[in-house]
Structure 1
């Protein structure tokens, strides 16, 4: 099928048009890249979420050497996921759980500030390969649901992407266990993606806890520190420097992986 790419006002609208055409390829937006096969989403990447490999390795589900062996051997053939399963290094169910969770986490960021998509590359495929596809409407609807819930918890979306700091005197005692673990990782430098990666936890659940901590007055945006030897302020953490989807291309798990 020949796909005629035409930019729409939003990335979600572009995804809908590509789904209707049954398109295959990669749609790049301001904060992420959507990979489609026959009009369905097969993977999403964003610089704001930890990659699949990092989460699998840090959770103990996969040895680091096994991950990189698969990437080197089959990355160019877009079969990394299949190699991990066929080699016995990872169960098919565990891969699917990780992949779907990563897909929805990255899609949240890619659609959070839903501007016009940059370009569509027909035929482009992700190195992980197709693990499971998801309808575009499901991806867009879940991203909207998450955005609405997070807004109700704390309405400032900068908490999702900026470095965060604890308020003076803040301690982790008395907090629910997961919230306390998240707070313990807040150090004035790390972002939500860094914290999720450090805990081998789903980014979305990390965002929920961080927004709750912000609402309780326990965390805030870290102050901007001028570069060493300069009197100028550092760039706004929510500005253009944070919007480059190619800055950290491998970052992402699904509901069951949060317990790992």
Structure 2
């Protein structure tokens, strides 16, 4: 069964115009061999993002869709009526296509079918080369693996922990929306539609939350061998101090002879200790260390 990648490349070489449907996974729309729109069942559509963000009303979208034609596309109607600017529409289409293409290239078990001259009601608003879409798919896949090298949370309900394993955490605005919007039954794709956010952005944020230990991981099935959870890459360890800079322990007699030979030490810290500074970063670091030690006490 041919892959979406191979079929798209053939259609691009032919300069085809139409819709490449990948079963229930979704569809690519092409104009002159370039992708102009894409939809995936995993992602919110452009109209979903606009309505969820409060930028456009559902009735306005429905009217533009019904009135669209090859002479006047629905996207042009929205711009001409002053509902959206051209830049807003193009930016929204850009994000929606990259979002859908990521999941469509990862889909399997479908039979591609091409329908010539089948167009999307928005009309061509942005043109994507197939090679560029595949390159972006690879970049996003690597970004997911770097955040959390496990797909166990990708399709399961998002369940935040009742008690976080830290005294304080830092969250992005999207991560906060996910934790607040999670009802222990919505998957990352469900949350993307609920929040009106791109599905890939939500998926990446979920993996980051999982890597931070803020989400409940699925219980292993009975009888399944226990697997060690994937761990995020550890920060590099600080370089060890050179042996010659380490202090030398001496007894009382040895210290007395040293003082007699060299005289009293000047009023400054020993060479093996870091110099005291007034840098607020150093002070904040010490405060955080103190708080951590107090929490462990």
Q: Confirm or deny a common fold (TM above 0.5).
A: yes
Aligned to 2:114: 120
- Residues 1:14 and 2:7 are matched in the alignment: yes
| Greater RCO, 1 or 2 (C-alpha within 8 Å, sep 6+) | 1
Give deviations 1:184-209, integer Å, cap 9, x for gaps.
22222212222223333232222221
Residue matched to 1:248? none
Mapped pair 1:219 → 2:215: yes
Segment drifting more, 144-153 vs 54-63? 54-63
User: Which has the larger displacement, 106-115 or 208-217?
Assistant: 106-115
Larger Rg: 2
* Equivalent of 1:23 in 16, 36, 48: 16
Aligned to 1:105: 99
Return the TM-score normalized by structure 1.
0.74
Supply the distance in 2 between the matched residues of 1:73 and 1:219 (Cα, whole angstroms): 45
Look up the SS of the partner of 2:159 in the other structure. Answer: strand
Unaligned runs of 5+ in 2: 220-297
Aligned residues: 216
Shift in alpha-carbon separation, 1:186–1:24, aligned structure 2, 3 A: same
Q: Is the 8 A contact 2:44 2:197 kept in 1?
A: no
In the alignment, the residues of structure 1 paired with residue 217 and residue 81 of structure 2 have an alpha-carbon distance, to the nearest angstrom, of 44
Give the CA deviation at 1:76: 8.7
Whole-Å Cα distance in 2 between the matches of residues 222 and 93 of structure 1?
42
CA 219–145 in structure 1, closer or farther in 2 if over 3 Å, else same:
same
1:132-171 equivalences under 5 Å are 132-170=126-164
Assess, with a 3 A threshold, how the Cα gap between structure 1 residues 84 and 174 changes in structure 2: closer, same or farther.
same
187 and 150 in structure 1: CA distance in 2 versus 1, 3 angstrom threshold: same
Partner SS, residue 76 of structure 2: helix
Residue of structure 2 equivalent to 1:94: 88
8 Å CA contact retained: 1:11, 1:116: no
Runs (4+) off by over 6 Å: 75-78
Gaps of 5+ in 1: 1-6, 224-260
Distance verdict in 2 for CA 1:13–1:220, change over 3 Å: farther
1:175 is aligned to: 170
Tell me which residue corresponds to 2:251: none
C-alpha RMSD over aligned residues: 2.5
Q: In the TM superposition, what are the counterparts of 1:174-193 in structure 2 within 5 Å?
A: 174-178=169-173, 179-193=175-189
| CA 174–88 in structure 1, closer or farther in 2 if over 3 Å, else same | same
